């Protein structure tokens, strides 16, 4: 049985869905009670429980720890180095993790307990530990990420094989809600409507007094960073190819472009070496109480007290300081402020991700400082400093997307089983269809989401493929953080999704600006792409283009871009129906309420304005013919009635300057995959067969060349009419 633990009340669920509310007098906490499990007829504080730490590395504001300590006589806190958890982290996050665990162990000892360290699969470690301490409950924070939810299910299955006195140990899931929301079922889907409800923020909780740890247990030692990285390599069973892929993530798209431009690998390595030397020198100059504890020194970390001290420094940026460690935070703030308010998540996001501090604690620290500045009052006109606003807006935004995700996981969404993947700490939605066959990744355009492939994913999967469709960062119900959105950022996201989620080269399919993103991906990391399918793709063709001249610094857009984004958003909200229908000239009914309502809903999400500002800094100077030069496996599906481009001219340029390209003309507008899904599905299916046939050996022992299949594809009749519309090209 799974149980969610929330503050303020105790709730116990049984097979009859009975809810029992317990009196507050039984608790040691006056401000908040904790929802927990109480067994009928059972005395308090008996038996043993395990508190399984994952992304909640703290003792204060920890509902699970408080609930477990209030009910059980013996408590065993444990952190499991499971490769499914730690292999997703960068080297810098791994360093932060080790510092955080060292501090957590110290804090638990101060509360009378300890922290056990174990290595291996969670189901094996937890299963063995349950038997060792005869634990009846395992307290663990609820998960949203698909792979981690699967891990919890596997642990639960393992526990079903263990029995004490005729009962199986039970997983107790807990949460740290930011708002006092009684029911997710009543939560509005629009952030605009959600704000009107004015839910109060739940108070953070003090750390509990913990029972002493069993003396006969082996608590384990923390590994070094090198030992941890070796453990990840050994336990993940990755080959040389996977290791090479993981190395891709260490270099940004910008650095890969620089390498392509220089065409001097040794020089690039020299630059990297010099950077490491500079990092080493910077590390030596750090203040004694520095919060930037890693070798790279980009992220706030360490223990809870160090992070809270850095938060105090961040909030007080305008005051100036004589303290060296605060001055360091101020210097890092200026470096990380790619746009107004972006520095908070850039510096503190990893500490929030690891749970070193909670979002509620950030909120109350910021509010306390705001009141101190204003004589105990909060102004109705906003916060007095940009740093206070940045901290509060960030945790507001994070909590909204957490609630939106939890609500979505509790509801059916048509034919799609929506999953969650975390990228750089942000929640990304995706879906998967099919169980066998070649992998295909569908990427939407600007302002769209995975449902824009609503009639593509399942049909293509049913023809013998595995299909992933993703909602990119900044769109749909995926998170919209305050970051600088660029085409390179989205390309890096797709790169990491292929490496971490799909795990093998894919056929890339992209519509509109999504086509440009997959072209960048294929151009910079060709090993990840089996082929590229561009559907009315953004991007230019520049004859004779050779070396990239790319804008590297697009920070601080200025008031003009922010004003332009707000005006554009208002225009789109009032005209979205007509605009969308113009994209579907042959089947306007396909531009229906399902699409329109979700686009309007997403436009009110926190961060939507930030995403829209990216239109003013998009750099399409890398032409398609440069990105796809020599790639060879490219299919272009073009809706010939696209109101955003001259389709005839664009196809003519692509055919002339992209060697080996295959083109198909469709009687459709800007989104052929949704306007004419059956026709586009057939073309994509035939294309994938043509590419995959190179690797299929028939009974004769001969390989069927892909070119034969491509020739057959070219022989299919074009569905377009001769007269394509002339229109002004735009980025979307």
Distances (CA, A) of 145 to 84, 150, 429: 11, 9, 9
Residue 379: what pLDDT?
87
Which has more pLDDT, 298 or 43? 298
Question: In which band, very low, low, confident or very high, does the pLDDT at 416 lie, cut at 50, 70 and 90?
Answer: low
Distances (CA, A) of 583 to 579, 643, 644, 667, 670: 7, 7, 8, 12, 5
What is the C-alpha to C-alpha distance for residues 516 and 645, in angstroms, rounded to an integer?
15
Residue 274: what pLDDT?
46
Residue 554: what pLDDT?
61
Please state whether 595 falls in left (phi above 0), alpha (psi between -120 and 50) or beta.
Answer: alpha
Q: Kindly tell me if the per-residue pLDDT of 40 is higher than 80.
A: no
Q: What is the DSSP letter of 134?
A: T
Range in 38-52, 126-140, 493-507, 597-611 with the lowest mean pLDDT = 38-52
With beta carbons less than 8 A apart as the criterion, state whether 355 and 140 touch: no
Q: Where are the alpha helices (DSSP H) in 141-264?
A: 146-159, 191-197, 225-236, 240-248, 253-262
Residue in the structure block whose two tokens are 């569905």:
719
With beta carbons less than 8 A apart as the criterion, state whether 447 and 576 touch: no
Residue 409: what pLDDT?
82
**Mean per-residue pLDDT for 245-262?**
75
Question: In which band, very low, low, confident or very high, does the pLDDT at 9 lie, cut at 50, 70 and 90?
Answer: very low
Question: In which band, very low, low, confident or very high, does the pLDDT at 165 lie, cut at 50, 70 and 90?
Answer: confident
Q: What would the pLDDT profile of 147-163 be if each residue is shown by its tens digit?
A: 999 999 999 999 999 88
Question: What's the whole-number average pLDDT of the chain?
Answer: 83
H or E element: which one contains 650?
Answer: helix 647-657
Tokens matching residue 256 = 């890969």
HEC secondary structure over 317-372: HHHCCCCHHHHHHHHHHHHHCCCCCHHHHHHHHHHHHHCCCCHHHHHHHHHHHHHH
Q: Kindly tell me if the per-residue pLDDT of 316 is higher than 90.
A: yes
Distances (CA, A) of 125 to 12, 57, 129: 27, 19, 6
Tokens matching residue 340 = 């107004």
Residue 413: what pLDDT?
53
Residue 32: what pLDDT?
35
Residue 338: what pLDDT?
85
Beta bridge partners of 423: 426
Residue 555: what pLDDT?
59
> Across the chain, which distance is largest between two alpha carbons, in Å?
86
Percent share of the chain, pLDDT over 90:
65
**Mean per-residue pLDDT for 383-402?**
96
CA distance between the termini of the chain? 48
Residue 699: what pLDDT?
31
Tokens matching residue 242 = 């996977």
Residue 254: what pLDDT?
79
**CA neighbours within 13 Å on the CB side: how many for 363?**
19
Q: What would the pLDDT profile of 664-712 be if each residue is shown by its tens digit?
A: 999 999 999 999 999 999 999 999 999 998 743 323 323 344 444 445 4
Angle made by CA atoms 528, 532, 536, in degrees to the nearest 5: 140
CATH superfamily of 412-715: Alpha/Beta hydrolase fold, catalytic domain (3.40.50.1820)
Q: What is the DSSP letter of 39?
A: -
In the chain, list all ranges with CATH 3.40.50.1820.
412-715
* CA nearest neighbour of 60 among 348, 353, 361: 361
Which has more pLDDT, 313 or 162? 313
How many CB atoms lie under 10 A from the CB of residue 529? 24
Question: In which band, very low, low, confident or very high, does the pLDDT at 8 lie, cut at 50, 70 and 90?
Answer: very low
What is the C-alpha to C-alpha distance for residues 394 and 360, in angstroms, rounded to an integer?
11
Which has more pLDDT, 463 or 257? 463
What is the C-alpha to C-alpha distance for residues 498 and 245, in angstroms, rounded to an integer?
10
CATH fold group of domain 24-228:
Rossmann fold (3.40.50)
Which has more pLDDT, 245 or 544? 544
Question: In which band, very low, low, confident or very high, does the pLDDT at 101 lie, cut at 50, 70 and 90?
Answer: very high
What is the C-alpha to C-alpha distance for residues 426 and 65, in angstroms, rounded to an integer?
25
Q: Kindly tell me if the per-residue pLDDT of 269 is higher than 80.
A: no
In the chain, list all ranges with CATH 3.40.50.620.
24-228
Q: Kindly tell me if the per-residue pLDDT of 412 is higher than 90.
A: no
**CA torsion, points 297, 299, 302, 304, in degrees to nearest 10?**
150
**Mean per-residue pLDDT for 431-438?**
95
Question: In which band, very low, low, confident or very high, does the pLDDT at 216 lie, cut at 50, 70 and 90?
Answer: confident
Residue 551: what pLDDT?
62
Q: Where are the alpha helices (DSSP H) in 374-531?
A: 386-409, 457-462, 487-497, 513-524
With beta carbons less than 8 A apart as the criterion, state whether 1 and 37 touch: no
Range in 95-109, 555-569, 686-700 with the lowest mean pLDDT = 686-700
Written as one string, the DSSP assignment of 545-592 is --S-----------HHHHHHHHHHHHHHHHHHHHHHHHT-SS-GGGS-
Pairing, β 466-471 against β 426-433: antiparallel
With beta carbons less than 8 A apart as the criterion, state whether 539 and 547 touch: no
Q: Kindly tell me if the per-residue pLDDT of 457 is higher than 90.
A: yes
Q: What is the DSSP letter of 292?
A: -
What is the C-alpha to C-alpha distance for residues 19 and 546, in angstroms, rounded to an integer?
68
Tokens matching residue 94 = 């791994």
What is the C-alpha to C-alpha distance for residues 311 and 326, in angstroms, rounded to an integer?
9
Residue in the structure block whose two tokens are 């394509």:
724
Q: What is the pTM of this model?
A: 0.86
Residue 263: what pLDDT?
57
Q: What would the pLDDT profile of 123-153 be if each residue is shown by its tens digit?
A: 999 999 999 999 999 999 999 999 999 999 9
Which has more pLDDT, 205 or 16? 205
Written as one string, the DSSP assignment of 683-718 is HHHHHHHHHHGGG-B-TTSPBPPHHHHHHHHHHSPP
Angle made by CA atoms 538, 245, 520, in degrees to the nearest 5: 10
With beta carbons less than 8 A apart as the criterion, state whether 34 and 3 touch: no
Tokens matching residue 660 = 């080996």
Range in 280-289, 554-563, 704-713 with the lowest mean pLDDT = 704-713
Residue 166: what pLDDT?
76
Centroid of chain to Cα 81: 21
Residue 553: what pLDDT?
60
Beta bridge partners of 427: 422
Question: In which band, very low, low, confident or very high, does the pLDDT at 242 lie, cut at 50, 70 and 90?
Answer: low
Tally of residues, the chain: 732
Residue 420: what pLDDT?
96
**Mean per-residue pLDDT for 270-276?**
46
């Amino acid at each position: 049985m799974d149980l969610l633990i929330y503050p303020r009340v105790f709730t116990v669920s049984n097979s009859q869905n009975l809810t029992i509310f317990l009196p507050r007098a039984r608790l040691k906490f006056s401000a908040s009670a904790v929802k927990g499990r109480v067994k009928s007829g059972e005395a308090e504080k008996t038996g043993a429980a395990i508190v399984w730490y994952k992304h909640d590395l703290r003792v204060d504001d920890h509902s699970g720890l408080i609930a477990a300590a209030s009910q059980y006589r013996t408590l065993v806190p444990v952190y499991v180095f499971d490769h499914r958890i730690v292999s997703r982290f960068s080297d810098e996050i791994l360093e932060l993790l080790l510092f955080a665990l060292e501090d957590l162990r110290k804090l638990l000892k101060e509360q009378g307990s300890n922290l056990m360290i174990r290595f291996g699969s969670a189901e094996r470690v937890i299963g063995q530990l349950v038997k060792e301490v005869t634990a009846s409950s395992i307290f663990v924070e609820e998960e949203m990420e698909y792979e981690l939810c699967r891990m919890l299910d596997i642990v639960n299955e393992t526990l079903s094989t263990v029995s004490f006195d005729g009962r199986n140990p039970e997983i107790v899931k807990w949460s740290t809600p930011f708002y006092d929301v009684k029911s997710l079922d009543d939560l509005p889907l629009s952030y605009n409507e959600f704000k009107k409800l004015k839910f109060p923020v739940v108070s953070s909780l003090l750390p509990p007094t913990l029972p002493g740890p069993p003396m006969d247990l082996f608590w384990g030692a923390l590994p070094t960073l090198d030992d941890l990285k070796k453990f990840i390599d050994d336990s993940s069973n990755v080959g040389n190819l996977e290791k090479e892929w993981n190395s891709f993530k260490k270099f940004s798209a910008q650095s890969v472009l620089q390498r392509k431009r220089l065409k001097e690998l040794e020089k690039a390595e020299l630059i990297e070496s010099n950077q490491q030397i500079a990092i080493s020198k910077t590390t030596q100059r750090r203040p004694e109480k520095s919060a930037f504890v890693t070798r790279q020194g980009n992220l706030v970390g360490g223990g809870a007290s160090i992070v809270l001290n850095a938060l105090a420094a961040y909030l007080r940026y305008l005051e100036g300081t004589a303290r060296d460690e605060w001055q360091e935070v101020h210097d890092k703030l200026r470096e990380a402020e790619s746009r107004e308010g972006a520095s908070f998540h850039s510096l503190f996001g990893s500490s929030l991700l690891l749970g070193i501090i909670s979002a509620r604690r950030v909120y109350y620290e910021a509010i306390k400082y705001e009141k101190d500045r204003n004589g105990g009052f909060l102004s109705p006109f906003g916060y007095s400093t940009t740093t206070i606003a940045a901290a509060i807006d960030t945790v507001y935004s994070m909590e909204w997307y957490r609630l939106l995700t939890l609500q979505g996981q509790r509801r059916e969404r048509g034919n799609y089983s929506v999953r969650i993947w975390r990228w750089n700490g942000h929640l990304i939605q995706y879906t998967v269809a099919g169980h066998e066959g070649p992998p295909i990744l569908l990427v939407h355009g600007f302002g769209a989401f995975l449902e824009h492939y609503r009639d593509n994913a399942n049909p293509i999967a049913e023809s013998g493929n595995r299909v992933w469709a993703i909602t990119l960062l900044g769109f749909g119900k995926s998170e919209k953080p305050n970051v600088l959105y660029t085409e390179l950022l989205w390309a890096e996201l797709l790169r990491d999704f292929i490496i971490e989620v799909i795990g093998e080269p894919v056929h890339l399919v992209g519509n509109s600006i999504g086509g440009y993103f997959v072209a960048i991906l294929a151009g910079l990391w060709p090993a990840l792409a089996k082929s590229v399918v561009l559907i009315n793709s953004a991007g230019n063709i520049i004859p004779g283009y050779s070396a990239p001249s790319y804008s590297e610094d697009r920070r601080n857009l200025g008031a003009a871009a922010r004003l332009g984004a707000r005006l554009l958003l208002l225009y789109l909200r009032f005209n979205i129906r007509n605009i969308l229908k113009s994209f579907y000239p042959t089947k306007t009914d396909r531009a229906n309420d399902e699409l329109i309502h979700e686009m309007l809903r997403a436009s009110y999400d926190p961060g939507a304005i930030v995403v829209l500002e990216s239109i003013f800094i998009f750099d399409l100077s890398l032409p398609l013919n440069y990105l796809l030069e020599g790639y060879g496996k490219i299919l272009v599906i073009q809706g010939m009635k696209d109101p955003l481009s001259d389709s005839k001219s664009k196809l003519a340029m692509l055919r002339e300057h992209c060697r080996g390209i295959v083109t198909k003309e469709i009687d459709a507008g800007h989104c052929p995959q949704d306007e004419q899904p059956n026709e586009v599905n057939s073309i994509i299916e035939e294309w994938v067969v043509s590419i995959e046939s190179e690797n299929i050996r028939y009974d004769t022992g001969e390989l069927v060349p892909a070119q034969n299949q491509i020739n057959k594809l070219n022989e299919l009749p074009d569905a377009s009419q001769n007269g394509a519309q002339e229109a002004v090209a735009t980025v979307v």
